Copies of this chain bind each other. A is one copy, B any other.
Amino acid sequence: MIPVAEARARILAVLHATETEVVHLADAWGRVAAAPLRARVTQPPQDVSAMDGFALRAADAAEGAKLRVAGTSPAGHPWAGTLQPGEALRLFTGSIMPAGADAVLLQEDAEEAAGIVTVRERVSAGRHIRRAGQDFAAGDVLIPAGRRLTARDVGLAASGNLPWLAVHRRPRVAILATGDEIALPGEPIPPGGIVSSNAHALAAFIRAAGAEPLVLPIAPDDEAAIAAAASVPADLLVTTGGASVGAHDLVQQGLARRGLAVDFWKIAMRPGKPLMFGRMGETPVLGLPGNPVSALVCAVLFLYPALARLGGRAEVALPTETARLGAALAANDRRADHLRARLAPGEDGRPVATAFTRQDSALLRLFADADALIMRAPHAPAAAAGEAVEIIRLAALGI
């Protein structure tokens, strides 16, 4: 058995980011920048007013001073003149500062009547002006390569006048579920059969990670059928089932007909254990267990980082955090454990993670109700309630 981290490192070592494509800003949310995104404009483009009020010369703006209103300049309607001593210009948030002015008097500190504005509060030079380039200058890197774009990033790119963005193509991930006993939802269920949940759950997980899933038809437990089903161009082929130690492990034999070079591991983990990784020609193949809970826990630990790498993300590490235990845990054995747990806010605000009493990997409903996985290292000693543990929030991964 090899440790989780080693298996993950070996997977990541052979995966590469997809190539670059260009998308419109409207389609950019959740995509990964393929190159540093540089501003095409300076923001603000010139010195602008930060408030509604009056542009003036600070030297003129003693309390009680009266200035002649030389004009009005709404945002988007710059004033062409130069402000003279004793003059003020009515303007608004975002209006370009006129030549000659060096401060803005807030409108609530001003009284305007008959073309004259009276200063009610002294204003010093530079007040309420946003300087040209204060946010960024043309050519500045706004977003580094490898960042998955948030709504704020989309706004920032728009602000930098970038209607088209270079991003990594979404990885295409084919999913092959195998087994004589499984049917897709809605299909006739064979005698002794069950409804397959892995294919659709993995497809949703893959979509949440920003990739494009393709659910292949279920392959029966037959080498030739498996070989035929796996003939699909993809950046990654994910299989589920057929990877246990039983006599019906046909996925590897089936894919071997298509040239699979296999690196088959038992991982020192629970739930899970058997994991297959290899290459079928150019296509990396990740074989997950058939058990639904095991398959999805393995997806978190191995598929999530793999998709991050394929998708060009700079950060491929799983987002872990610390919680306190809500209930004691027994010492762990030699396998890393991943306990399904509820989270609740603790007295000091820190999350409290309480593992479900039942950790049977057959309980998909309990897993769906979990908020987090508690990560227990191999041979972790018994831990009392209140001790710190490492967790992964499931919803944060879209799973």
Cβ of A76: which chain B residues have Cβ within 8 Å of it? 179-182, 190, 192-193, 221
Bitwise interface map of A from 18 to 61 toward B, beta carbon under 8 Å scored 1, else 0: 00000001101110000000000101111000101000000000
User: Which residues, 221 to 239 on A, are CB-close (under 8 Å) to B?
Assistant: 221
In the complex, what's the smallest C-beta–C-beta distance from A32 to chain B, in angstroms?
Answer: 14
- Inter-subunit contact B394/A155 (CB<8 Å): no
Confirm or deny: A349 has a beta carbon within 8 angstroms of a beta carbon on chain B.
yes
Confirm or deny: A331 has a beta carbon within 8 angstroms of a beta carbon on chain B.
no
A selection of 21 A-B contacts at a CB cut-off of 8 Å is A25-B200, A30-B398, A41-B189, A41-B195, A45-B189, A74-B181, A75-B179, A76-B180, A94-B290, A130-B360, A130-B362, A135-B363, A150-B204, A152-B364, A152-B367, A156-B364, A158-B197, A158-B199, A161-B195, A163-B186, A321-B349
- Inter-subunit contact B158/A195 (CB<8 Å): yes
In the complex, what's the smallest C-beta–C-beta distance from A393 to chain B, in angstroms?
Answer: 9
Which residue of B160, B189, B200 is within 8 Å of A154 (Cβ)? B200
- Inter-subunit contact B134/A362 (CB<8 Å): yes
- Inter-subunit contact A204/B28 (CB<8 Å): yes
A208 to B210, CA, bound (A): 12
Among A156, A163, A198, A204, chain B packs the most CB atoms within 10 A around the CB of A204
Confirm or deny: A259 has a beta carbon within 8 angstroms of a beta carbon on chain B.
no
Cβ of A50: which chain B residues have Cβ within 8 Å of it? 360, 362
User: Which residues, 147 to 189 on A, are CB-close (under 8 Å) to B?
Assistant: 149-164, 179-182, 184-186, 189
- Inter-subunit contact A399/B368 (CB<8 Å): no
Bitwise interface map of A from 318 to 347 toward B, beta carbon under 8 Å scored 1, else 0: 000111000000000000000000000100
- Inter-subunit contact B194/A74 (CB<8 Å): no
Among A151, A164, A203, chain B packs the most CB atoms within 10 A around the CB of A151
Which residue of B93, B94, B142, B348 is within 8 Å of A365 (Cβ)? B142
Cβ of A25: which chain B residues have Cβ within 8 Å of it? 185, 200
- A79 nearest CB neighbor, chain B only: B192
- A25 nearest CB neighbor, chain B only: B200
Given contacts A29-B207, A95-B192, A159-B195, 8 further A-B contacts (CB under 8 A): A28-B204, A44-B362, A52-B245, A74-B181, A74-B247, A92-B248, A150-B394, A153-B368
4 closest residue pairs by CB, A with B: A322-B349, A76-B181, A155-B201, A163-B186
- Inter-subunit contact B74/A180 (CB<8 Å): yes
A355 to B220, CA, bound (A): 57
A204 to B25, CA, bound (A): 9
- Inter-subunit contact B362/A135 (CB<8 Å): yes
- Inter-subunit contact A94/B194 (CB<8 Å): yes
- Inter-subunit contact B399/A202 (CB<8 Å): no
Confirm or deny: A350 has a beta carbon within 8 angstroms of a beta carbon on chain B.
yes
Once A151-B205, A180-B74, A181-B94 are accepted as A-B contacts, the answer to whether A368 and B186 lie under 8 Å apart by CB is no
Confirm or deny: A283 has a beta carbon within 8 angstroms of a beta carbon on chain B.
no
A350 to B290, CA, bound (A): 36
Cβ of A350: which chain B residues have Cβ within 8 Å of it? 322, 350
